[in-house]
Structure formats: structure tokens, C-alpha cells
């Protein structure tokens, strides 16, 4: 790009000078009456030189186009990779904050395109400045004052463009939340998971109406800015045009008065027009660089975000075998920006190999407790200890490797069945026996083997030949991911909600056998499953209200006994 820029910068002045020499040679041949052949011999080298310059210009233009194409692809990868990697570094708390998505929206919007425009625009501005300097060396010979007037006439247009560029940036940045809503409505109207309800509830036209209203609102805002920008460009452009034709008349007058040659007139007319165009291009390029820089500032603001979760300067190694167990010591937690506590004064010890069940109404804090246990969040107050060591003293990635988790909102990867299972331990993605063994433990193996291409079958409907599964079959796949891990703690958050009672009982009987020497934490609303745990913890309003075995809690006659009785009655 730099080489093409330098060549492109020097070509216009070279072509203008050769053009002047051709015109002067022709005029000389006519005035001296040397004859056509002699005149042609005098002009021919100059014609060949001009042809050579045109050939260089064509080759240079193609080389630059190729460089831009390659650069665009590489910049696109570089910028999007940095955005995604930054998102991976950030805590879960960021992803539960609407302001984070506004920043992500602003960072991703046209970031790769703006980056390319800055690089390309920078080279073009440099090229135009070099060309302008070469023109300037020729213009000084004629009239420095006239050149100054021509250049000054383009400055108002530059200032106007810069002002509207900043206004456009501010409008687009302010509308980030509404722009995300527009994208969401479009996704909702075209997504497979939503299409059934959209059709059955006749939501298509109402949602499309909301989409159109937002779209027209954006269009009116953009149109208003574009109209003002066009009017300003027209007015100040006329000023530049008038200054050019004033210079045009001055040059013609000098040529008619024999002050300059016809070749000089041709040269200066071309240079004046070219100089003004170049000066406008430089100022316009600077204005575009300014506008693109404003948009790229959103990218850099996003990349400056830092995780809120503290990482120990000298992290302790996570124990390979748990000897003392897990302990919640006066743990309280609330989400950022929330006044109410999700958990309050939790005190709970879990022994090595113990199976704990968490029960309670929706929103009581069960999943929040799991997020703290897996260190997706840190407690607002209190400590969580593993073998007597605060979880904050471990390296987060290493801690996550020692915990197997399946959440109730597990991911359905629209990829091969083997990958859906193998993602539970990415380091062993190529270990097919281990993948099949994990699938057998969860009951997913017969489901996968019945698919057209077995473990190589693409799941879901996003891609060609993909096969969708039932809710229960997807849950078996998700359970297999948990069994892929050789870990000391396994956490299951409503892992069998989509399974029928018989399959659920079979899975948990096998689950208890497979986790005989491991800590297991289970969240479930089915008490037939919960009663298999060593201890049951009842969470109400973010606090532990009851802890004990199934028999102990029934004897206590509290919340657990009441809920168990209600559920048992519903099966009679």
C-alpha cells in the first residue's frame, strides 16, 4: 500500500508536465513549419512517455485494489478476534448488564469497515498531500496568491463536513439500545425457536409493525442529517467552483496576452483543477478520518473494559483430590445495580463425596448459589472455601477445569454430536472412546447411534442435513458433557427437567453410582429425585431455611415437608 501510494502520488504531476511538453512541441512544429514527419519525430518520445505513465497508473491501480482486498480480510479477522477475545475475558456480570451490550453493539458496528477506511484513508491522504506538494512546486512559478485563494475556498466545506460527521457519530452512538431492539425484532421474526409461537399467536404483523416503526424513526434521523450535510456541501462547493473559474479566466487572459505558452496554459489549467481537487480530497479525507476515528473510539473503549473478578497475584494450585470439602462461610450476594439480596448469610459445609440437593421456589437463589460455587461471581460478603482455601486464591480457569456443570439453560450446539459431548473437556475432543463412554453414562449413546451419521451427525436445524432432537434428548447430550470431565465437583441445575420420570430415575441412579467419590450438587423440583441426596437444603428468599436428610425434613414438618406432600398428592 505504501509503495502504491508513493507511485500514485507522483504520477499526476508527471502526466501534467509531459502533457505540457507535448502541446509545446506541437505548437513549435506548427510555427517552424518543419513538416509532419519531423514534427511527429519530435513529439513521439513524449507520446511514448505519456503512454508509459498511463500504463504505470493502470498497473498501480490494480495492485492497490488487490492490496486493499487482502488488507480488508485481515483487518476484519484482527478486529473481530480482539472483540471476541475481550468478551471471553470479561466476567459473567458484564453479560447480565444492558450497558455492556450497548458498548458491544457500538464496538462491533462497522468496526472492521471503519478500520479499513482509516488505513485506506490515511494512505490516500498521504498520497494527495505528496501530489499537492508536487503541484505546488509548479504553481509557485505562476501565481502563489491565486493558489492560496483556490485552496482557501475549500476550507469551509471541510469544516462543515467535520461538524456533520460528529453529529452523525453521536446519533448512532445514542441509538445503540434501540438498534439492538431492532436487531432483536428481526431475529425474533426469523428464528426457528420463536416461529411456532409467532405463527400460533399471530404475532408476525404486530412485531413487524414495531420493526418498521423503529426503522422509519432511524431513517428520519439519518435523512435529516444527510439533507443538511448535502445542502452545506452544495453551498460551499459552489464557492470552490467559482474560485476555480476565476483562476481559469486569469490563465486564459495570460495565454491570450502571450505571457505564457499554450503548453503552460494547458499545464496550469490542469494543475489548478487538480490542485483544488487534491486539496478538497485532503480535507475530505481528514474529515472522514475524523469520523471513522470517532467510531473506532467505541472499539477502543470496549477493549479497555477489564474483568471485575479479582485474580490472585500468586494463585494457589487447585487440589486434585478434595480432602476437607467445600464451605460457604456467611456468604451474601447481590447483583450489580440491585438493591435486594439474592443470597443472605449462607453457611453450609459439603463433605467430600457428599450429594447435596437444593430445593425452593423459583427465584429463591438456588442458581445464584451455583454461580458463586463455580466462581462465575464472587460473594458480595463472606467467603467460599475449598479445602480451607478461598476460591479467590485459585486461578479461575484451573478451578473451572475441576468442576463439571450443566445449567438448566444449557447450550444446544448446532455442530456434530461428538462435539456436543466432547466440548465438556475440550482437550479430549479427539478422544472418541471417552466421548462415547460419557454419552453412555448419560443415556445419550443410543440416541446418537440412531442418527443417520451417528456421532458425526450435525445436530439442530441451522445447517444442511442437521437433525433436531427432543428436549429430553438434548438434555441427555448436555449431561454427557458433564460426564466428559474428570472432576471432583459436579453441579447439575435442573438437568432432567425435560426427561420423563422413568428416564430421570434411571439417570440419577446411574449418576449416584458414577459420582460415588465426588461432591455433587443438584437443583431439582422433582422430589422423587431430590430424596436420593445425602442432604437436602431448602432455600427461601435467598436464605437457607432447612438442611437435613429427606426423613429429617419430613419429620421437621416445615417447607420441605409441605412441598413434598403437595407434589406427592398430585401423583395420586
Q: What is the pLDDT of residue 332?
A: 93
Q: Which residues are bridge partners to 491 per DSSP?
A: 405, 521
What burial letters (b/e) apply to 406-421, b meaning 16+ CB within 10 Å? bbbebebbebbbbbbb
Percent above pLDDT 70 for the chain: 81
| Interaxial angle between packed helices 36-89 and 111-139, expressed in degrees from 0 to 180 and rounded to the nearest 10 | 150
- Across 55-69, 224-238, 434-448, 533-547, least confident range: 224-238
Please state which architecture CATH assigns to domain 2-177+216-303: Up-down Bundle (1.20)
More confident residue, 190 or 350: 350
Task: Give me the residue spans of the domains in the chain.
Answer: 2-177+216-303, 322-402+489-572, 411-486
For residue 491, give the nearest of 460, 513, 524, 465 by alpha carbon. Answer: 524
Q: Are 482 and 492 in contact (CB under 8 A)?
A: yes
Residue 559: is it exposed, middle or buried by C-beta count within 10 angstroms (0-12/13-18/19+)? Answer: middle
Q: What is the DSSP code (8-state) at residue 333?
A: E
Report, as an integer, the average pLDDT of 76-88: 84
Residues 6+ apart with CB under 8 A from 114: 292, 295, 296, 299
pLDDT at 237: 66
What are the distances in angstroms from CA 283 to CA 119, 160, 352?
16, 11, 71
Name 463's Cβ contacts closer than 8 Å, sequence gap at least 6. Answer: 414
Lowest mean pLDDT segment, chosen from 144-158, 186-200, 313-327, 530-544: 144-158
pTM of the prediction? 0.63
pLDDT at 384: 92
Closest CA to 535 of 550, 523, 516, 555: 550
Q: How far is Cα 134 from Cα 15, in angstroms, rounded to an integer?
A: 12
pLDDT at residue 192, rounded to an integer = 65
* Terminal alpha carbon distance of the chain: 79
Span 341-391, pLDDT tens digits: 999 999 999 998 888 989 888 888 888 898 899 888 889 999 999 988 999
Fold matches, 322-402+489-572 and 411-486? yes
pLDDT tens digit sequence for 517-540? 788 888 877 777 777 788 999 998
Architecture field, domain 322-402+489-572: 3-Layer(aba) Sandwich (3.40)
Element (H, E) at 477: helix 471-483
Mean pLDDT score of the chain: 80
Confidence of residue 227 (pLDDT cuts 50, 70, 90): confident
Q: Which helix (H) or strand (E) holds 344?
A: strand 343-350
Mind listing the pLDDT tens digit for each residue in 445-459? 999 999 989 999 999
DSSP summary character for residue 374: T
How would you classify the pairing of strands 381-386 and 389-390?
antiparallel
CATH number attached to the domain at 411-486: 3.40.50.300
Q: What is the 8-class DSSP label of residue 88?
A: H
Strands (E) located in 448-565 = 489-493, 519-523, 535-540, 543-548
Amino acid at each position: 500500500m505504501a509503495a502504491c501510494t508513493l507511485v500514485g502520488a507522483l504520477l499526476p504531476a508527471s502526466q501534467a508536465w509531459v502533457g505540457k511538453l507535448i502541446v509545446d512541441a506541437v505548437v513549435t512544429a506548427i510555427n517552424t513549419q518543419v513538416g509532419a514527419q519531423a514534427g511527429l519525430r519530435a513529439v513521439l518520445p513524449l507520446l511514448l512517455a505519456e503512454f508509459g505513465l498511463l500504463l504505470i497508473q493502470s498497473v498501480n491501480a490494480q495492485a492497490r485494489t488487490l492490496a486493499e482486498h487482502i488488507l480488508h480480510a485481515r483487518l476484519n479477522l484482527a478486529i473481530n478476534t480482539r472483540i471476541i477475545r475481550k468478551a471471553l475475558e470479561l466476567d459473567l456480570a458484564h453479560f447480565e448488564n444492558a450497558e455492556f451490550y450497548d458498548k458491544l453493539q457500538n464496538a462491533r458496528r462497522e468496526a472492521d469497515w471503519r478500520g479499513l477506511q482509516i488505513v485506506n484513508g490515511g494512505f490516500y491522504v498521504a498520497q494527495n498531500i505528496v501530489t499537492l506538494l508536487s503541484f505546488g512546486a509548479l504553481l509557485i512559478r505562476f501565481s502563489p496568491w491565486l493558489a492560496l485563494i483556490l485552496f482557501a475556498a475549500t476550507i469551509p466545506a471541510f469544516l462543515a463536513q467535520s461538524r456533520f460527521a460528529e453529529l452523525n457519530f453521536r446519533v448512532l452512538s445514542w441509538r445503540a439500545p434501540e438498534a439492538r431492539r431492532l436487531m432483536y425484532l428481526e431475529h425474533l421474526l426469523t428464528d426457528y425457536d420463536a416461529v411456532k409461537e409467532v405463527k400460533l399467536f399471530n404475532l408476525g404483523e404486530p412485531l413487524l409493525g414495531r420493526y418498521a416503526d423503529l426503522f422509519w424513526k432511524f431513517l428520519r434521523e439519518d435523512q435529516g442529517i444527510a439533507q443538511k450535510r448535502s445542502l452545506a456541501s452544495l453551498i460551499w462547493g459552489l464557492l470552490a467552483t467559482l474560485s476555480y473559474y476565476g483562476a481559469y479566466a486569469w490563465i486564459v487572459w495570460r495565454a491570450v496576452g502571450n505571457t505564457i505558452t499554450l503548453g503552460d496554459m494547458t499545464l496550469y489549467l490542469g494543475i489548478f483543477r487538480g490542485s483544488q481537487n487534491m486539496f478538497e480530497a485532503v480535507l475530505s479525507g481528514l474529515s472522514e478520518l475524523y469520523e471513522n476515528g470517532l467510531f473506532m473510539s467505541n472499539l477502543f473503549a470496549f477493549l479497555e473494559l477489564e474483568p471485575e473478578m479479582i485474580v490472585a497475584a500468586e494463585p494457589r494450585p487447585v487440589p486434585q483430590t478434595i480432602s476437607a470439602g467445600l464451605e460457604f462461610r456467611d456468604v451474601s450476594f447481590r447483583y450489580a445495580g440491585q438493591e435486594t439480596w439474592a443470597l443472605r448469610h449462607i453457611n453450609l459445609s459439603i463433605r467430600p463425596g457428599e450429594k447435596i440437593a437444593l430445593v425452593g421456589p423459583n427465584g429463591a437463589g438456588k442458581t445464584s448459589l451455583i454461580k458463586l460455587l463455580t466462581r462465575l461471581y464472587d460473594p458480595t460478603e463472606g467467603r467460599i472455601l475449598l479445602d480451607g482455601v478461598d476460591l479467590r486464591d485459585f486461578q479461575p480457569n484451573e478451578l473451572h477445569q475441576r468442576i463439571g456443570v450443566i445449567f438448566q439453560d444449557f447450550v444446544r450446539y448446532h455442530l456434530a454430536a461428538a462435539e456436543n459431548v466432547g466440548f465438556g473437556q475440550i482437550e479430549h475432543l479427539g478422544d472418541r472412546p471417552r466421548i462415547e463412554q460419557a454419552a453412555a453414562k448419560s443415556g445419550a449413546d443410543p440416541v446418537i447411534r440412531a442418527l443417520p451419521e451417528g456421532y458425526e451427525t450435525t445436530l439442530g436445524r441451522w445447517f444442511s442435513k442437521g437433525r433436531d432432537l427432543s428436549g429430553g434428548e438434548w438434555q441427555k447430550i448436555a449431561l454427557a458433557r458433564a460426564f466428559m470431565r474428570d472432576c471432583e465437583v459436579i453441579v447439575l441445575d435442573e438437568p432432567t427437567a425435560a426427561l420423563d420420570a422413568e428416564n430421570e430415575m434411571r439417570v440419577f441412579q446411574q449418576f449416584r453410582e458414577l459420582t460415588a467419590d465426588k461432591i455433587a450438587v443438584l437443583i431439582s423440583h422433582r422430589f422423587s429425585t431430590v430424596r436420593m441426596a445425602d442432604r437436602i437444603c431448602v432455600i427461601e428468599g435467598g436464605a437457607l431455611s432447612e438442611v437435613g436428610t429427606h426423613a429429617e425434613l419430613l419429620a421437621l414438618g416445615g417447607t420441605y415437608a409441605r412441598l413434598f406432600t403437595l407434589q406427592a398428592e398430585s401423583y395420586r
